């Protein structure tokens, strides 16, 4: 695998744009056989179909670039058609938000794209995880996209951060400060690295994430299933309204915290509730079904669906009002069954200054 030709050690000019900014493409990774995809043929087929459905939905709004393990190239082509560009590279995990780079721009050098290469260790190197191949994907995608590599020594994942593009980043204490990720880190060190790589000046730390995210196959609190900036000064918050679910109290505690916060520009945050669907449990316990884990695309939003017409419609209404864009629902239950949602399997490549549509 080739490495990017240019590596910047000092990255003072980098800034991660808001996810609502224009994109040149959405990057994804196609599933391959292994522990995440499933043990039976029907489980594997359901996983392939879920990833493909998201890719095809995104492709209606903007280009999709799909990294594919060589063992899955023909299947990917058969399921995705000719309209989605494929890039072959060895994979084990296929959550592109976490294994891929975080794209940034350089306000000091308009027209230059950067790609932050966080250290990926399978969400804290749990015994079950297979991640060594996918730990190389950020560099591969940086090369394929023509981006300058921004190397980081922080163990982090793209699902563990959310920015407003104006200096504010949402983080979770149980992710970046996790002892199996960054045992020597403290908030000041993490914030300094976010400033260097993402251009942020204000970090808002959530104390925890959703309950299900702390099981053996969880991420220990990724923010992208809990809260996201819909625009400057406005945060969409996962809200569990059934007192039987442990996230009922979690979501209320997080709301109380966020309502007291200000962003990097000094604005008091407005919190917009995004209600959870009605399902409370599956065979493993309390679910973490969340409409917060959506993807903003050019002129649209790809929303998670959970087979609940009324709840899915409420989510479309909230998201449509928040973004002022067309909202398309894609069934995400098979993705959540494997540990994440639509946002987790995608990564936006921003349009550079001077290239806006």
Kindly list the catalytic residues: 344
Phi/psi for 249 (5° steps) reads -75, -35
The answer to whether 271 and 318 are in contact (CB under 8 A) is no
How far is residue 331 from each of residues 50, 281, 289, 302, measured CA to CA in Å?
Answer: 7, 17, 11, 10
Residue 233 CB coordination number (10 Å)? 17
Quote the distance between the C-alpha of residue 288 and its chain's center.
15
Half-sphere exposure of 337 (CA within 13 A, CB side): 19
Rounded CA-CA distance 198/201 in Å is 9
Structural contact between residues 335 and 52, judged by C-beta atoms closer than 8 angstroms: no
Among 308, 260, 258, smallest CA distance to 280 is for 308
Sheet of strand 168-172, all strands in order from the earlier edge strand to the far edge: 162-163, 168-172, 202-206
The number of residues in the chain equals 357
Q: Are 210 and 238 in contact (CB under 8 A)?
A: yes
Question: Would you call 149 helix, strand, or coil by DSSP?
Answer: strand
Residue listed under structure tokens 């239950």? 333
């Amino acid at each position: 695998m080739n490495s990017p030709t240019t590596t910047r050690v000092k990255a003072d000019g980098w800034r991660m744009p808001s996810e609502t900014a224009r994109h040149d493409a959405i990057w994804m990774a196609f599933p391959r056989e292994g522990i995440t995809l499933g043990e039976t043929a029907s489980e594997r087929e359901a996983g392939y179909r879920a990833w493909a459905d998201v890719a095809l939905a995104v492709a209606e709004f903007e280009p999709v670039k799909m990294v594919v393990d060589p063992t899955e190239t023909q299947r990917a082509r058969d399921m995705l058609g000719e309209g989605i560009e494929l890039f072959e590279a060895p994979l084990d995990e296929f959550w592109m938000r976490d294994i891929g780079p975080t794209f940034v721009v350089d306000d000091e050098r308009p027209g230059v794209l950067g790609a932050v290469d966080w250290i990926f260790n399978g969400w804290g190197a749990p015994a079950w995880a297979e991640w060594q191949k996918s730990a190389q994907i950020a560099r591969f995608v940086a090369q394929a996209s023509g981006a300058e590599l921004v190397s980081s020594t922080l163990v982090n994942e793209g699902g563990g951060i959310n920015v407003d593009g104006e200096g504010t980043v949402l983080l979770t204490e149980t992710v970046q400060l996790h002892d199996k990720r960054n045992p020597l880190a403290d908030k000041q060190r993490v914030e300094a690295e976010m400033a260097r790589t993402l251009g942020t000046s204000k970090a808002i730390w959530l104390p925890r994430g959703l309950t299900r995210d702390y099981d053996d196959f969880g991420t220990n609190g990724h923010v992208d299933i809990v809260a996201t900036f819909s625009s400057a000064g406005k945060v969409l918050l996962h809200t569990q309204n059934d007192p039987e679910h442990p996230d009922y109290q979690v979501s209320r505690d997080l709301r109380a915290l966020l309502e007291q916060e200000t962003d990097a520009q000094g604005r008091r945050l407005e919190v917009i509730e995004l209600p959870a669907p009605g399902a409370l449990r599956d065979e493993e316990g309390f679910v973490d079904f969340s409409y917060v884990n959506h993807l903003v695309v050019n002129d649209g939003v790809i929303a998670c669906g959970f087979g609940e017409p009324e709840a899915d419609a409420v989510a479309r209404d909230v998201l449509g009002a928040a973004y002022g864009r067309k909202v398309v629902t894609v069934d995400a239950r098979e993705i959540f069954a494997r540990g994440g949602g639509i946002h987790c399997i995608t990564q936006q490549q921003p349009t550079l200054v001077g290239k806006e549509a």
